[in-house]
């Protein structure tokens, strides 16, 4: 299971919680003491297979002492198979009250760490999410809600847990993901909510379908769109955002439901949806968005006029409960507003005035514009350009892709891109804007003019 990637857990983090096992004669039998000594030696073997065998042998030895041997060293082992075995071994004690208490102490100590980048191990959260202990569930919920609210590291950790449960994709993973939907941070934080929902769409079990249908009425924006695309793919039906229609379909078909062979091939992201606003044919489903518009010299003339017209139409179609902003860029970046504004008639009129006052000049500082967009609290970015980056903090397309991906790791923002006259498929601009979308939960549109 991918939950077992290396994590930054230092000796300082676990001081006083996970010291090397010291087994006293009063607590353990002589046989157990000897077995633990043998396993400790085997855990230091240079051969991964030997370390895996040692970790698996711990399942038959005293739980608390075994946990102290596994955490943190085995969860940080360079070999993926050892990390996987360590996680599976910890799962054998998921309902042990003493083990859960120890794991919660480790998490709490890590969550209160003062040094940047020191985060509690994601596998421990996975084990506790799998626990059927009401006390563990309650205390874990308190920890996760507080940790996610207090730190970007906390958000990234929760996203990591959700992603890895999606890769695990079994019944236990589904149970854990369901429990994540009950957290306050699920309802209050877009990135956490989207990560959990996206992970659940990877679980090919009828229970995942039923859970997502039940959640649909509680979701909106890009997360709701994720669910609708998934349900459309696995059912072949076109019920859009209608919760009652999906529920009726499920009641009729759940007893004989079977996943299609290619259920993972979801409908194209951004595909037009009748009755919803769109921008260059990309359906706008987000409730918080920013439009990033290239106004460099090459956009002068019909290209900029068409872009203004398309964007004006898109903004006019936004519902009243949406919020938006506009960022124009050439050599410099100019934001229309400092923050998102509600899509009222007055703000739409002001946006029109701003757009039609824009003039094309200068070079193309694409990264600077994207960086400014990511500072806003958005679900989606709509990025339009007609040229490769030529100015700004980062110019090389590959470096921009890497920087954007790193920034978006803890944000889960959809990045939709429009390439104006991008050249032949695979040309530098075409490849750049296509990869921006593909690597960031969005969709790409070519406009050949």
CA atoms within 13 A on the CB side of 41: 5
Per-residue pLDDT band at 2 (split at 50, 70, 90)? very low
Q: Is 261 domain-assigned?
A: yes
Question: Tell me: the pLDDT tens digits for 396-415?
Answer: 999 999 999 999 999 999 99
Cis peptide before 149 (omega within 30 of 0): no
Question: Tell me: the pLDDT tens digits for 255-283?
Answer: 999 999 864 555 556 555 667 899 999 99
Evaluated on CA atoms 219, 220, 221, 224, the torsion sign reads positive
**What pLDDT, on the 0 to 100 scale, is given for residue 273?**
63
- Do 137 and 168 lie in one domain? The reply is yes
Alpha helices in 47-151 (DSSP H): 48-57, 63-70, 80-91, 97-111, 122-130, 134-150
Measured distance CA(16)–CA(25) in Å, rounded: 21
Per-residue pLDDT band at 112 (split at 50, 70, 90)? low
Q: Is 134 domain-assigned?
A: yes
Quick check: 192 pLDDT over 50?
A: yes
User: What's the domain count of the chain?
Assistant: 3
CA 70 to each of CA 53, 277, 312: distance values in angstroms, whole numbers, following the listed order: 13, 53, 58
Q: In the chain, count H helices and then E strands.
A: 20, 9
- Do 230 and 362 lie in one domain? The reply is no
- Do 347 and 386 lie in one domain? The reply is yes
Measured distance CA(156)–CA(316) in Å, rounded: 35
> Quick one: average pLDDT of 16-23?
45
Running DSSP on this structure, what letter comes out for residue 35?
H
> If you search the block for the tokens 């306050």, which residue do you land on?
184
The pTM assigned to this predicted structure is 0.86
Supply the DSSP string of 252-299, one letter for each residue. Answer: HHGGG----TTTTSPPPTT---TTS-EETTEE---SEEEEEEE-SGGG
Measured distance CA(198)–CA(302) in Å, rounded: 40
Alpha helices in 317-444 (DSSP H): 345-356, 366-374, 397-408, 428-438
Question: Do residues 361 and 296 lie in contact, with contact meaning Cβ atoms separated by under 8 Å?
Answer: yes
Long-range contacts of 98-103 (CB under 8 A, 24+ apart): 98/63, 98/64, 99/63, 99/64, 99/67, 100/128, 100/131, 100/133, 100/135, 100/136, 102/17, 102/64, 102/67, 102/68, 103/67, 103/71, 103/127, 103/128
* Residue that is last in its domain, among 220, 245, 267: 267
Q: Is 196 domain-assigned?
A: no
> If you search the block for the tokens 């509600």, which residue do you land on?
342
Supply the DSSP string of 157-194, one letter for each residue. Answer: HHHHHHHHHHHH-SHHHHHHHHHHTTSHHHHH-HHHHH
Name the 3-class secondary structure at 382: strand
- Do 170 and 219 lie in one domain? The reply is no
**What pLDDT, on the 0 to 100 scale, is given for residue 297?**
97
The pLDDT mean for the chain works out to: 89
Please list, in sequence order, all residues whose beta carbon lies within 8 angstroms of the beta carbon of residue 360, skipping any fewer than 6 positions away.
295, 296, 297, 298, 299, 300, 301, 304, 330
The distance from CA 45 to its chain's CA centroid, rounded to whole angstroms, is: 36
Running DSSP on this structure, what letter comes out for residue 21?
P
Task: Select from 136, 108, 125, 127 the least CA-distant residue to 159.
Answer: 125
Evaluated on CA atoms 71, 76, 79, 81, the torsion sign reads positive
> Quick one: average pLDDT of 227-240?
93
Q: What is the CATH number of the domain that holds 435?
A: 3.40.50.410
Quick check: 4 pLDDT over 80?
A: no
- Do 107 and 176 lie in one domain? The reply is yes
Quick check: 18 pLDDT over 70?
A: no
Q: Is 297 domain-assigned?
A: yes
Task: Select from 319, 360, 363 the least CA-distant residue to 342.
Answer: 319
- Do 263 and 373 lie in one domain? The reply is no
> Quick one: average pLDDT of 285-294?
97
Quick check: 26 pLDDT over 70?
A: no
Q: Is 431 domain-assigned?
A: yes
**What pLDDT, on the 0 to 100 scale, is given for residue 266?**
53
Quick check: 117 pLDDT over 50?
A: no
Q: Is 272 domain-assigned?
A: no
* Residue that is last in its domain, among 238, 267, 296: 267
The phi, psi pair for 171, rounded to 5°, reads -65, -40
Per-residue pLDDT band at 6 (split at 50, 70, 90)? very low
- Do 84 and 140 lie in one domain? The reply is yes
By CB neighbour count within 10 A (0-12 exposed, 13-18 middle, 19+ buried), where does 116 fall? exposed
Q: Is 273 domain-assigned?
A: no
- Do 178 and 211 lie in one domain? The reply is no
- Do 314 and 356 lie in one domain? The reply is yes
- Do 263 and 284 lie in one domain? The reply is no
**What pLDDT, on the 0 to 100 scale, is given for residue 24?**
44
- Do 431 and 294 lie in one domain? The reply is yes
**What pLDDT, on the 0 to 100 scale, is given for residue 25?**
46
Across the strands, what pairs with 390?
Answer: none
* Residue that is last in its domain, among 236, 267, 298: 267
Minimum mean pLDDT range among 107-121, 243-257, 335-349 = 107-121
Measured distance CA(196)–CA(191) in Å, rounded: 9
- Do 68 and 159 lie in one domain? The reply is yes
Question: Tell me: the pLDDT tens digits for 128-182?
Answer: 999 999 999 999 999 988 888 777 888 888 999 999 999 999 999 999 999 999 9
Q: Is 316 domain-assigned?
A: yes
User: Residue 235: which domain range?
Assistant: 204-267
Question: Do residues 225 and 443 lie in contact, with contact meaning Cβ atoms separated by under 8 Å?
Answer: no
């Amino acid at each position: 299971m991918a939950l077992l990637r290396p994590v930054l857990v230092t000796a300082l983090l676990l001081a006083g919680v996970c010291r090397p096992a010291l087994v006293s004669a009063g607590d353990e039998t002589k046989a157990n003491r000897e077995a633990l000594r043998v396993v400790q030696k085997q855990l230091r073997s240079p051969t991964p297979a030997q370390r895996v065998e040692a970790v698996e042998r711990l399942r038959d030895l005293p739980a608390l002492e075994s946990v102290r041997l596994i955490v943190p060293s085995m969860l940080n082992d360079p070999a993926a198979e050892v990390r996987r075995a360590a996680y599976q071994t910890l799962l054998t004690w998921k309902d042990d009250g003493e083990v859960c208490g120890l794991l919660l102490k480790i998490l709490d100590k890590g969550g209160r760490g003062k040094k940047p980048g020191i985060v509690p191990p994601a596998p421990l959260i996975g084990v506790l999410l799998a626990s059927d202990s009401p006390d563990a569930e309650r205390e874990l919920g308190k920890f996760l809600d507080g940790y996610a609210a207090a730190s970007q590291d906390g958000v990234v950790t929760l996203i990591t847990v959700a992603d890895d449960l999606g890769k695990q994709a079994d019944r236990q993973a589904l149970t854990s993901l369901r429990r994540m939907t009950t957290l306050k941070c699920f309802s209050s934080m877009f990135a956490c909510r989207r990560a959990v929902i996206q992970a659940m769409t990877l679980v090919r079990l009828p229970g995942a379908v039923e859970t997502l249908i039940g959640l649909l009425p509680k979701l909106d924006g890009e997360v709701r769109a994720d669910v609708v695309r998934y349900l459309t793919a696995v059912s072949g039906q076109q019920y859009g955002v209608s919760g009652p229609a999906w529920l009726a379909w499920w009641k009729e078909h759940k007893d004989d439901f079977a996943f299609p062979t290619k259920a993972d091939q979801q409908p194209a992201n951004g595909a037009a949806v009748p009755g919803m606003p769109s921008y260059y044919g990309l359906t706008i489903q987000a409730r918080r968005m920013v439009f990033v518009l290239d106004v460099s010299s090459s956009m002068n003339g019909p290209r900029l006029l068409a872009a203004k017209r398309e964007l004006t139409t898109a903004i006019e179609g936004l519902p009243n409960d949406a919020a938006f902003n506009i960022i124009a860029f050439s050599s410099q970046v100019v934001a229309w507003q400092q923050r998102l504004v509600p899509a009222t008639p007055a703000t739409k009129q002001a946006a029109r005035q701003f757009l039609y006052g824009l003039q094309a000049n200068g070079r193309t500082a694409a990264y600077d514009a994207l960086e400014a967009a990511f500072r806003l609290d958005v679900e989606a970015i709509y990025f339009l350009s007609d040229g490769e980056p030529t100015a700004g903090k980062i110019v090389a397309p590959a470096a921009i892709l890497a920087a954007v991906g790193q920034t978006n790791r803890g944000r889960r923002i959809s990045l939709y891109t429009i390439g104006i006259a991008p050249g032949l498929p695979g040309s530098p601009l075409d490849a750049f804007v296509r990869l921006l979308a593909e690597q960031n939960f969005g969709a790409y549109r070519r406009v050949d003019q």
